[in-house]
Amino acid sequence: MAVIAPSRRVRRTPFSDGVAAAGVKGYTVYNHMLLPTVFRSVEEDYRHLKEAVQVWDVAVERQVEVRGPDAGRLMQMLTPRDLRGMLPGQCYYVPMVDETGGMLNDPVAVKLAEDRYWISIADSDLLMWVKGIAYGFRLDVLVDEPDVSPLAIQGPKADDLMARVFGDAVRDLRFFRFGWFDFDGTQLVIARSGYSKQGGFEIYVEGGHLGMPLWNALFEAGKDLDVYAGCPNLIERIEGGLLSYGNDMTRSNTPHECGLGRFCSTQTAIGCVGRDALLRVSQEGPVRQIRAISITGDLPTCDRAWPLMAGKTKVGQVTSCARSPDFGTNVAIGMVRMTHWDAGTALKVETQDGTFDAEVHEEFWI
Amino acid sequence: MAVIAPSRRVRRTPFSDGVAAAGVKGYTVYNHMLLPTVFRSVEEDYRHLKEAVQVWDVAVERQVEVRGPDAGRLMQMLTPRDLRGMLPGQCYYVPMVDETGGMLNDPVAVKLAEDRYWISIADSDLLMWVKGIAYGFRLDVLVDEPDVSPLAIQGPKADDLMARVFGDAVRDLRFFRFGWFDFDGTQLVIARSGYSKQGGFEIYVEGGHLGMPLWNALFEAGKDLDVYAGCPNLIERIEGGLLSYGNDMTRSNTPHECGLGRFCSTQTAIGCVGRDALLRVSQEGPVRQIRAISITGDLPTCDRAWPLMAGKTKVGQVTSCARSPDFGTNVAIGMVRMTHWDAGTALKVETQDGTFDAEVHEEFWI
């Protein structure tokens, strides 16, 4: 296994010292920044995430700040989700598409004020697209990457840990709502959200200097809660059907292919640059779509798209896969053509180490 | 040292099998793709690069293809370099800037035809900016990432190796010119260019299926030339003053700060979206600029920006650094304020492992 080469270009985060001290064993790079992928082992991290509480350095979820009189107009240009009902204090999961309806990112938008948003991005330089559109349409808006680094608290004991550091009011946060909470004299945005199905929060740490003090405060407060460093867990996110931009979807895919049609209201999302391109697919549905797939056998690492075959015909591909201890099978995310996407369909998956049996499922596991 | 976690999102290249077989020891991620950083050791790779010939998987230099009636207009919008004199068959190093004059990328543009360009990019999703501008200005142009993966042949024996595979005509290529050469019945663009000072070529491999056949043909042909797998070498590129986007320059910097003023003709680059913002600095010069810096002592890895201090005042930063066997010192690239950028200025550099003596140099080493 090759090591990851350090350089300034692959940016450290405000929490990197804590991550290293916790014994991180693997990294990936995400938005030109280090993202931990494993601490003890992927299986141990998985079990611990489901039973205790973890602190995740997800500073890689960089923010694109959109601010100014045209902020709302610009936001609606970026997504086929109708944003008219969005209020300050809300988070929206917003598929972002280009003029062809292709996915550019699948961020969470945070509405700070009527004229101010953060877009908490997946792995692509969405800032460049937003700046290009803002410039091309001469919008009165500022677009920039602020010094904001999310820290996620995930797991069944997340509420208990957070209450000890931020007070009991944090327990009252509803899903995908945020509030302002004090840490060391600074008001921080905290949302009930996160990239797991175990529940928890994301703290938008505004100001890198607060990173390690907050990290340390959480670990100090959570000693008897078995708090530990964690990171988005490959097994758990696949069990939960949490998609990963760049893995399970790319610019080639529409939101509808990604199963994100429920977040789109293309008819009424007036101003969205991809609206014309998406109107038809939003009414008729896509010809291929994301599906839960189980695969039997001793599989290699899924480091590339694996073709899904029905006989000699390619009918889709698997893009994320992991062995699930809880479900006793390989859980996977794939995209399958309409002709073969019904639950129970038996397919073959071609990996770099041979062909294995696969089956399409109705739903993800958790 | 942590390992790099494999996933589809961090894309493999058409040459990845060859890279693995050659014993790659380290990777970085660049444009969402694997880039090797070391094979034998950085020092051994360095010596071999200066004495023999290497084959580099630089597929990470993804192409942004710009094609259509407005291609030329769009290209000029992206850069303060005057492109009016650029002819098909030429490569231009083109700083690309946003509307504030900040660097978005420092690619090589390849003019394939009057209405068709490839932009061979450094590490940022420039595609998003180009698409945003094209859409915002309603340009009649196609913008996409084609299946083109550069393979670089670098080192003093590069001409000999290339002539064996592509014929002697390849020797006649002038610097930053390209021609079309046959491989296995396919015409490939080959330019005399590359990210080293040792001379060589870049083959724009159009069609991933050609990757390993070409890789193998080069190794077969070069056995007695001591051909080996290589990659951009940290030591050699710093000795040569080859900047790295994301390391030595970011969106915060103008081309003039990066010492790239000689590639800008801001006055006549009419249409460049950053022209207004750059006119003043192009006439008066920047207040800080890239400099060669030598540092004495046993340094840690440069994985973050190191402040350059004059007494208690920060006057710049070092962003790339390596121990040079040939020059017997630590060679570095930094950006220094005008007040302290004269050759011979003695400064201190603050690393994660303490403070060291630094000196500003007139020129890079090679």
3-state secondary structure chain B: CCEECCCCCCECCCCHHHHHHCCCCEEEEECCEEEEEECCCHHHHHHHHHHCEEEEECCCCCEEEEECCCHHHHHHHHCCCCCCCCCCCEEEECCEECCCCCEEECCEEEEEECCEEEEECCCCCHHHHHHHHHHHCCCCCEEECCCEEEEEEECCCHHHHHHHHHCHHHHHCCECEEEEEEECCEEEEEEECCCCCCCEEEEEEECHHHHHHHHHHHHHHCHHHCEEEECCCHHHHHHCCCCCECCCECCCCCCCCCCCHHHCCCCCCCCCCCHHHHHHHHHHCCCEEEEEEEECCCCCCCCCCEEEEECCEEEEEEEEEEEECCCCEEEEEEEEEHHHCCCCCEEEEEECCEEEEEEEECCCCC
Residue that finishes a domain, picked among B220, B238, B256: B238
Judge whether B275 lies within some domain.
Answer: no
pLDDT of residue B331: 98
Judge whether B104 lies within some domain.
Answer: yes
Query: Taking each helix axis from N to C terminus, what angle separates B71-78 and B126-136, rounded to the nearest 10 degrees?
Result: 120
Reading the block at residue B218, the tokens are 């080069």
Reported as a pLDDT band with limits 50, 70 and 90, residue A331 is very high
Give residue for tokens 């995930």.
A154
Same domain, A105 and A170: no
- Widest distance between CA atoms in chain A: 64
**Whether the Cβ atoms of residue B144 and residue B46 lie closer than 8 Å to each other:** no
Which residues in chain A have Cβ-Cβ distances shorter than 8 Å to B32? 123-124, 246
Other Cβ atoms less than 10 A from the Cβ of B67: the count is 18
**Average pLDDT rounded to a whole number, residues B87-96:** 98
pLDDT of residue A233: 98
Closest CA to A80 of A265, A254, A261: A265
Judge whether A338 lies within some domain.
Answer: yes
Residue that finishes a domain, picked among A200, A219, A238: A238
pLDDT of residue A319: 98
Judge whether A283 lies within some domain.
Answer: no
Burial B119-147 (b: 16+ CB within 10 A, else e): bbbbbbbbbbbbbbbbbbbebebebeeee
Judge whether B259 lies within some domain.
Answer: no
Reported as a pLDDT band with limits 50, 70 and 90, residue B174 is very high
Q: Which residue in B28, B29, B272, B302 has the most chain A C-beta atoms within 10 A of its own C-beta, making it the best mutation to test that interface?
A: B29
Reported as a pLDDT band with limits 50, 70 and 90, residue B185 is very high
Same domain, A179 and A324: no
Q: Which residue in A25, A60, A119, A135 has the most chain B C-beta atoms within 10 A of its own C-beta, making it the best mutation to test that interface?
A: A135
H/E stretch holding A143 reads strand A142-144
Q: Is A204 exposed, middle or buried (0-12, 13-18, 19+ CB in 10 A)?
A: buried
Do the chains contact at A7 and B98, CB–CB below 8 Å? Answer: no
pLDDT of residue B199: 97
**Percentage with pLDDT > 70 across chain B:** 100
Residue that finishes a domain, picked among B139, B168, B191: B139
Q: What is the pTM of this model?
A: 0.97
**Whether the Cβ atoms of residue A29 and residue A203 lie closer than 8 Å to each other:** no
DSSP secondary structure string, A22-38?
TT--EEEEETTEEEEEE
Q: How far apart are CA A343 and CA A333, in angstroms?
A: 14
How many domains in chain B?
Answer: 3
Instruction: Tell whether the model's pLDDT for residue B243 goes beyond 80.
Output: yes
Quick: pLDDT tens for B37-70.
999 999 999 999 999 999 999 999 999 999 999 9
User: Residue B303 is nearest to which of A7, A99, A104, comparing CB atoms?
Assistant: A7
H/E stretch holding A21 reads helix A16-21
pLDDT of residue A317: 98
Q: How far apart are CA A42 and CA A231, in angstroms?
A: 10
Q: In this structure, are strands A288-295 and A329-337 parallel, antiparallel, or unpaired?
A: antiparallel
Reported as a pLDDT band with limits 50, 70 and 90, residue A243 is very high
Q: How far apart are CA B72 and CA B74, in angstroms?
A: 5
Reading the block at residue B340, the tokens are 């302290």
Minimal-distance CA residue of chain B relative to A138:
B136
Q: Compute the Cα dihedral for B62, B67, B70, B71 and give only its sign.
A: positive
Reading the block at residue B1, the tokens are 């040292």
Reported as a pLDDT band with limits 50, 70 and 90, residue B210 is very high
Order of strands across the sheet with B53-57?
Answer: B178-183, B186-191, B200-206, B148-154, B53-57, B227-230
The identity of residue A139, as a single letter, is L
Which residues in chain A have Cβ-Cβ distances shorter than 8 Å to B129? 128-129, 131-132
Reading the block at residue A290, the tokens are 């994301």
Which residues in chain B have Cβ-Cβ distances shorter than 8 Å to A133? 132, 135-136
Same domain, B346 and B225: no
Same domain, B133 and B160: no
Q: Does residue A202 have a known ligand-binding role?
A: yes
CATH of the domain at B33: 3.30.1360.120
Judge whether B313 lies within some domain.
Answer: yes
Which residues in chain A have Cβ-Cβ distances shorter than 8 Å to B6? 301-303
Which residues in chain B have Cβ-Cβ distances shorter than 8 Å to A8? 246-247, 302-305, 319-320
Q: What angle do CA A246, A247, A248 make, to 5 degrees?
A: 105
Same domain, B54 and B181: yes
Same domain, B157 and B97: no
Chain B nearest CA to A27, separation (Å)? 5
Same domain, A354 and A234: no
Same domain, B321 and B350: yes
- CA–chain centroid gap for A323, Å, is 20
Which residues in chain A have Cβ-Cβ distances shorter than 8 Å to B136? 132-133, 135-137
Q: Which residue in A125, A133, A317, A335 has the most chain B C-beta atoms within 10 A of its own C-beta, making it the best mutation to test that interface?
A: A125
Same domain, B57 and B190: yes
Same domain, A156 and A52: yes
Q: How far apart are CA A179 and CA A169, in angstroms?
A: 9
Quick: pLDDT tens for B284-329.
999 999 999 999 999 999 999 999 999 999 999 999 999 999 999 9
Minimal-distance CA residue of chain A relative to B321:
A7
Q: How far apart are CA A186 and CA A217, in angstroms?
A: 14
Same domain, B167 and B132: no
Do the chains contact at A2 and B303, CB–CB below 8 Å? Answer: no
Do the chains contact at A2 and B125, CB–CB below 8 Å? Answer: no
**Average pLDDT rounded to a whole number, residues A285-293:** 97
Same domain, B54 and B73: no
Q: Is A1 exposed, middle or buried (0-12, 13-18, 19+ CB in 10 A)?
A: exposed
CATH of the domain at A90: 3.30.70.1400
Instruction: Tell whether the model's pLDDT for residue B1 goes beyond 80.
Output: no
Judge whether A250 lies within some domain.
Answer: no
Do the chains contact at A7 and B245, CB–CB below 8 Å? Answer: no
Reported as a pLDDT band with limits 50, 70 and 90, residue A41 is very high
For residue B131, the enclosing domain spans 63-139
CATH of the domain at A338: 2.40.30.110
Quick: pLDDT tens for A109-134.
999 999 999 999 999 999 999 999 99
Reported as a pLDDT band with limits 50, 70 and 90, residue A138 is very high
Q: How far apart are CA A248 and CA A290, in angstroms?
A: 8
Q: Which letter does DSSP use for residue A212 in this model?
A: H
Instruction: Tell whether the model's pLDDT for residue A1 goes beyond 80.
Output: no
Minimal-distance CA residue of chain A relative to B318:
A8
- CA–chain centroid gap for B312, Å, is 34
